[in-house]
Amino acid sequence: MNVVHLVAISALSLFGIGLYGLWSGRNVLRWILAVGLMETGINVFLVLTGWYPGARVPIITESFSTSGPVPFLDPVPSALVLTSIVIGLGTTTLALALAILHARSHGTLECEADPETAEVLE
């Protein structure tokens, strides 16, 4: 148990908080926020999987020398997470637009479980 496990637990907790946000309540905005939280947790965890004891930031700086193995953390998950963040932004934008559509047609941001009783304005 060291710092990296603490960060891993924080990432999983973020994921869990997002899951709780999805589970409880029927507000569309709350769902979008919850999905954003889950994304953040997953991103943190993905970056963390590249870490190992003694790993350094994968940038070649002045103090760098090639004697022995390269002391960098795995750069592949970091590069993947860069993509994931941008895609998350795109999906959030689209989800907000759909939430606005929902509010326009139903007059509320709450989602009704039963489509029979749901009230549609148009």
Judged by CB under 8 A, the residue of 6, 76, 112, 118 near other proteins is 76
Rule CB under 8 A: say whether 60 interacts with other proteins: yes
Q: Closest distance between other proteins and the C-beta of residue 31, in Å?
A: 14
Q: Is 52 in the site for other proteins (CB under 8 A)?
A: yes
C-alpha distances out from residue 52 to 2, 71, 102, 116, Å = 12, 10, 46, 54
Say whether residue 55 binds other proteins (CB under 8 A).
yes
Query: Is 31 one of the binding residues for other proteins (CB under 8 A)?
Result: no
Please give the Cα distance from 50 to 4 (Å, whole number).
11
